[in-house]
C-alpha cells in the first residue's frame, strides 16, 4: 500500500465515523438512544439490515469460497426471502404494537421473566462470540497480508466503532451504515470491472463463464437430498429459512435495525428490500470469486495464497521441499494454461468434439495442479503443525493487492474495514440494549432516571466492545471464517427461534415448560454438534423442532396457566 492508499483508507473510515458521531451527539433519552428518532425511511432500514449482516468476512471470505468451491454457497440464502416474509407478517406487527425495545421483552410479556432472561442470555452469549469473530476475521487476514500487527489492527478498528456507537447510539449506527455500505459496494463494483479488464485480450465474459462452469465453479443449485452435503437447495430452503428466521426475527442486532422505522410500512419495505436483494448480492460476491478463479487460469497464482506464511516457511525450511513443490506447481499451471487456451480455441472454432476433448484434458491438468497444492499444504502443515491449511480467505485480498491500481487498493481495504465496523456497531448496539433493557433495567435497577439508563447503556456498549476485542485478541480459529460465524449461529439460533414460535403460535404452552424445554434442547444441540456429522444448517431446524416438541410434552406433564392474549398473534 502506498501513501495514497493509506490516505483513502483513513479519510474514508474516520470521516464516516466522525460524521456519524457528530450528527447524533445529542441523543439524551433512552428511547431515542436505543431506537433512534423514529424517522428512518425504508431504504435506510434496508441498508442498515444489510450492513449489519454483511460483515467484512462476507467480502473477504465469500469470494474465496467462490474461488475454491464455486457458487453453491448461494443456496445458503434461499430461505431468507421466506423468513423475511414471515417476519413481516407475524413478528414485526407484534413488536411494534407492544412498543418493545428488544425482542426478548416480548418473551417476558408472553411467558415470564426467566424465559425472557434465557432468550436474552442466549443472544448475549452467541452474539458476544459473534462480535469477536466479526472483528477477528478480517483483522487476521488484513494484518497478515499488510504486515500490520494483528493486535493493533483489532484494537484500532474496535475502538473507532466503540467511540461512535457510544456517542450516538442506534441512530449513529444506522447513519454510518448507510455510508459504509456505499463504500463497500463502490469497492466491490470497482474490483469487478478491474477483474474483467484484467482478463486476457479476446476473452469474453461468455468465455470466462465457460471456463468457470467447465471447472464446476457454477454449480449454483443442487436438488439432491443428502444430509451430509453442506449446501443443497433443500438445506438452503429449510435450514436457511430457520437460520434467517432466527437471525432476522430473534437476534436483537437485526430487530433493533428494523424497529427503527418511522412506521410499520417503512420497516416492512426495508425487510422486503433485503428479501429481494440478498440472493443476487451473495451471487455477485461468489461470482466475483469464480471470476478470480478464471483470471488465475491465465495468470500464475501463488501455490499457497497466504504469502506471508509461505515466505516465512520457505525461509525457515532448509530441505528445499517447498521450492521444489512450487516449481512443480508452476509447471502444472503452465500445462493447464496451455490446455485451457486450446479448449477456448476449439470453442471459438465451433468444434464441439475438440472442445470436449480439450476440456477433459484441462480438467485433468487442473486435478494435477490441485494435487500439488494439496501436497504443498501437507508439507507446510508438517513443517508447522499450528499452521492453518486453508488459504481461501486470502484469495481475494491477494488479487486486490497485486492487480488493482493504487488508490483503489485503499478503497477496497477501506471497504473491508467499513464492513467490519458497520456489522460490529450493530452488534454492540444490540448487546448494550439487551443488557440494559432485559437485565439492568428489568432485574437490577428498576426505578432510575432516563439519563441514568443512557449513561449505563453507553457503559455497556464500551463493555461489550472490550469483550469483543478481548475475544478477538485471544481467538484462534481454523474454520473458513464465514462458516465459523454461521456454525455458531446455527448451534445457538434454533432454540431462541422456538421460544418465539411457541410465543406466537402455541398459546397453551406456559413459560415454565418452554424454559426447561429450551435449556434441555440447547444442551442436546451442543452435544450433537460435537458428536454427529450433520451439515450445520440443519441444527437450526433440529434445535427449533426439538424445543417445540419437548415443550409440548412438558406442558402436558406439568400443566400451567394460560398466557396473556395481547402477546400472541
283 sits near other proteins (criterion: CB under 8 A): yes
For residue 357, the minimal CB distance to other proteins (Å) is 17
Of 272 and 545, which CB lies nearer to other proteins in the complex structure?
272
For residue 27, the minimal CB distance to other proteins (Å) is 21
DSSP calls for 147-186: T--HHHHHHHHHHHHHHHHHHHHHHHHHHHHHHHHHHHHH
> Footprint of other proteins on residues 538-567 (CB under 8 A)?
566
Quick check: 244 and 282 in contact, CB under 8 A?
no
**Cα torsion 210, 211, 215, 221: sign:** negative
356 sits near other proteins (criterion: CB under 8 A): no
DSSP calls for 489-549: HHHHHHHHHHHHHHHHH-TT--HHHHHHHHHHHHHHHHHHHHH----TTHHHHHHHHHHHH
> Footprint of other proteins on residues 62-81 (CB under 8 A)?
71, 74, 78, 81
Sequence-distant (≥ 6) Cβ neighbours of residue 413 within 8 angstroms? 1, 5, 9, 142, 146, 400
Rounded distance, CA 296 to CA 290, Å? Answer: 10
For residue 130, the minimal CB distance to other proteins (Å) is 26
Of 49 and 84, which CB lies nearer to other proteins in the complex structure?
84
Q: Cell 485480498 maps to which residue?
A: 397
Of 153 and 252, which CB lies nearer to other proteins in the complex structure?
252
One residue of 27, 35, 109, 127 binding other proteins per CB under 8 A: 109
Of 94 and 425, which CB lies nearer to other proteins in the complex structure?
94
Of 99 and 327, which CB lies nearer to other proteins in the complex structure?
99
For residue 68, the minimal CB distance to other proteins (Å) is 18
Of 281 and 413, which CB lies nearer to other proteins in the complex structure?
281
279 sits near other proteins (criterion: CB under 8 A): yes
Residues 310-339 as b or e (16 or more Cβ within 10 Å = b) = beebbeebeeebbeebbebbeebbebbbeb
> Footprint of other proteins on residues 202-261 (CB under 8 A)?
209-210, 212-214, 216, 218-221, 233
Of 85 and 357, which CB lies nearer to other proteins in the complex structure?
85
Contacts of the segment 438-442: beta carbons below 8 A, 24+ positions apart: 438/102, 438/104, 438/105, 438/108, 438/116, 438/117, 438/120, 439/117, 439/120, 442/108, 442/113, 442/116
For residue 241, the minimal CB distance to other proteins (Å) is 11
Report how far Cα 279 is from the mean position of its chain's Cα atoms. Answer: 14
Closest CA to 430 of 124, 172, 119, 177: 124
497 sits near other proteins (criterion: CB under 8 A): no
Quick check: 226 and 232 in contact, CB under 8 A?
yes
85 sits near other proteins (criterion: CB under 8 A): yes
Rounded distance, CA 305 to CA 291, Å? Answer: 16
One residue of 161, 195, 275, 294 binding other proteins per CB under 8 A: 275
Of 80 and 491, which CB lies nearer to other proteins in the complex structure?
80
For residue 264, the minimal CB distance to other proteins (Å) is 6
* Total of residues contacting other proteins (CB under 8 A): 41
Report helix, strand or coil for 40: strand
One residue of 139, 269, 418, 518 binding other proteins per CB under 8 A: 269
Of 272 and 520, which CB lies nearer to other proteins in the complex structure?
272
Closest CA to 186 of 410, 517, 18, 34: 410
The region, left, alpha or beta by phi > 0 then psi within -120 to 50, assigned to residue 71 is alpha
- 3-state SS, 381-406, equals HHHCCCCCCCCHHHHHHHHHHHHCCC
Using the rule CB under 8 A, give the single segment among 98-106, 298-306, 352-360, 361-369 that binds other proteins.
98-106
Of 278 and 333, which CB lies nearer to other proteins in the complex structure?
278
38 sits near other proteins (criterion: CB under 8 A): no
442 sits near other proteins (criterion: CB under 8 A): no
99 sits near other proteins (criterion: CB under 8 A): yes
One residue of 7, 14, 89, 455 binding other proteins per CB under 8 A: 89
Of 157 and 235, which CB lies nearer to other proteins in the complex structure?
235
Of 549 and 564, which CB lies nearer to other proteins in the complex structure?
564
How far CA 193 is from CA of 200, 205, 286, 563, in Å, comes to: 14, 11, 15, 57
Of 71 and 431, which CB lies nearer to other proteins in the complex structure?
71
Helix (H) or strand (E) holding 25: none
For residue 129, the minimal CB distance to other proteins (Å) is 30
272 sits near other proteins (criterion: CB under 8 A): yes
Closest CA to 317 of 263, 410, 381, 236: 381
Using the rule CB under 8 A, give the single segment among 94-102, 151-159, 477-485, 545-553 that binds other proteins.
94-102
Of 35 and 268, which CB lies nearer to other proteins in the complex structure?
268
> Footprint of other proteins on residues 374-433 (CB under 8 A)?
none
One residue of 100, 481, 491, 537 binding other proteins per CB under 8 A: 100
Q: Cell 409440548 maps to which residue?
A: 552
Closest CA to 528 of 491, 502, 482: 491
Across the strands, what pairs with 261? 40
Q: At what angle do helices 42-53 and 150-198 cross, to 10 degrees?
A: 110
Closest CA to 80 of 328, 247, 229: 247
Using the rule CB under 8 A, give the single segment among 112-120, 272-280, 348-356, 364-372 that binds other proteins.
272-280
One residue of 1, 37, 93, 338 binding other proteins per CB under 8 A: 93
One residue of 15, 280, 323, 405 binding other proteins per CB under 8 A: 280
Query: Under the rule (CB under 8 A), what is the footprint of other proteins?
Result: 71, 74, 78, 81-82, 84-85, 88-89, 92-93, 96-100, 105, 109, 209-210, 212-214, 216, 218-221, 233, 263-265, 268-269, 272, 275-276, 279-280, 283, 566
Amino acid at each position: 500500500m502506498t501513501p495514497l492508499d493509506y490516505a483513502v483508507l483513513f479519510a474514508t473510515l474516520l470521516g464516516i465515523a466522525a460524521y456519524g458521531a457528530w450528527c447524533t451527539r445529542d441523543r439524551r433519552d433512552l428511547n431515542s438512544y436505543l431506537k433512534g428518532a423514529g424517522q428512518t425511511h425504508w431504504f435506510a432500514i434496508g441498508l442498515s439490515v444489510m450492513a449489519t449482516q454483511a460483515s467484512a468476512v462476507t467480502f473477504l471470505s465469500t469470494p474465496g469460497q467462490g474461488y475454491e468451491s464455486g457458487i453453491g454457497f448461494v443456496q445458503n440464502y434461499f430461505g431468507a426471502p421466506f423468513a423475511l416474509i414471515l417476519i413481516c407478517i407475524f413478528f414485526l406487527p407484534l413488536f411494534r404494537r407492544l412498543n418493545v425495545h428488544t425482542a426478548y421483552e416480548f418473551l417476558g410479556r408472553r411467558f415470564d421473566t426467566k424465559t425472557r432472561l434465557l432468550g436474552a442470555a442466549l443472544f448475549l452469549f452467541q452474539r458476544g462470540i459473534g462480535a469477536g469473530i466479526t472483528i477477528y476475521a478480517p483483522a487476521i487476514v488484513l494484518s497478515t497480508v499488510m504486515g500490520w500487527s494483528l493486535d493493533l489492527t483489532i484494537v484500532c478498528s474496535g475502538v473507532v466503532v466503540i467511540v461512535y456507537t457510544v456517542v450516538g447510539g442506534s441512530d449513529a449506527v444506522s447513519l454510518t451504515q448507510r455510508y459504509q455500505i456505499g463504500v463497500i459496494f463502490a469497492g466491490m463494483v470497482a474490483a469487478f470491472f478491474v477483474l474483467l479488464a484484467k482478463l486476457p485480450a479476446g476473452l469474453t465474459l461468455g468465455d470466462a463463464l465457460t471456463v468457470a462452469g467447465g471447472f464446476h465453479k457454477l454449480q449454483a443449485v443442487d436438488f439432491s437430498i443428502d444430509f451430509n452435503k453442506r449446501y443443497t437447495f433443500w438445506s438452503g430452503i429449510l435450514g436457511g429459512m430457520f437460520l434467517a428466521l432466527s437471525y432476522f426475527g430473534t437476534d436483537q442486532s437485526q430487530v433493533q435495525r428494523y424497529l427503527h422505522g418511522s412506521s410499520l410500512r417503512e420497516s416492512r419495505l426495508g425487510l422486503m428490500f433485503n428479501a429481494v436483494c440478498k440472493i443476487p448480492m451473495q451471487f455477485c460476491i461468489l461470482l466475483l470469486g469464480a471470476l478470480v478463479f478464471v483470471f488465475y487460469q491465465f495468470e500464475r497464482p501463488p501455490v499457497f495464497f497466504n504469502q506471508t506464511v509461505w515466505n516465512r516457511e520457505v525461509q525457515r525450511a532448509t530441505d528445499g521441499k517447498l521450492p521444489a513443490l512450487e516449481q512443480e506447481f508452476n509447471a502444472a499451471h503452465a500445462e493447464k494454461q496451455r490446455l485451457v487456451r486450446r479448449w477456448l480455441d476449439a470453442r471459438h472454432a465451433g468444434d464441439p468434439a475438440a472442445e470436449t476433448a480439450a476440456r477433459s484434458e484441462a480438467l485433468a491438468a487442473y486435478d494435477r495442479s490441485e494435487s500439488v497444492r494439496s501436497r504443498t499444504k501437507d508439507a507446510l502443515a508438517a513443517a508447522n503443525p499450528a499452521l492453518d491449511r486453508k488459504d481461501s480467505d486470502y484469495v481475494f485480498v491477494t488479487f486486490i493487492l497485486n492487480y488493482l491500481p493504487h488508490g483503489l487498493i485503499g478503497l477496497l481495504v477501506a471497504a473491508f474495514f467499513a464492513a467490519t465496523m458497520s456489522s460490529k456497531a450493530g452488534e454492540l448496539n444490540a448487546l448494550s440494549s439487551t443488557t440494559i433493557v432485559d437485565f439492568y433495567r428489568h432485574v437490577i435497577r428498576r426505578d432510575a432516571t432516563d439519563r441514568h439508563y443512557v449513561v449505563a447503556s453507553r457503559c455497556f456498549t464500551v463493555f461489550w466492545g472490550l469483550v469483543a476485542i478481548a475475544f478477538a485478541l485471544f481467538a484462534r480459529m481454523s474454520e473458513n471464517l464465514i462458516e465459523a460465524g454461521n456454525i455458531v449461529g446455527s448451534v445457538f439460533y434454533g432454540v431462541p427461534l422456538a421460544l418465539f414460535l411457541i410465543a406466537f403460535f402455541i398459546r397453551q404452552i406456559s413459560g415454565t415448560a418452554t424454559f426447561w424445554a429450551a435449556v434441555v434442547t440447547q444442551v442436546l444441540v451442543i452435544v450433537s454438534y460435537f458428536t454427529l456429522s450433520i451439515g450445520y444448517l440443519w441444527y437450526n431446524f433440529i434445535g427449533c423442532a426439538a424445543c417445540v416438541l419437548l415443550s409440548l410434552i412438558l406442558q402436558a406433564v406439568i400443566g400451567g396457566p394460560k398466557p396473556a392474549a395481547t402477546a400472541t398473534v
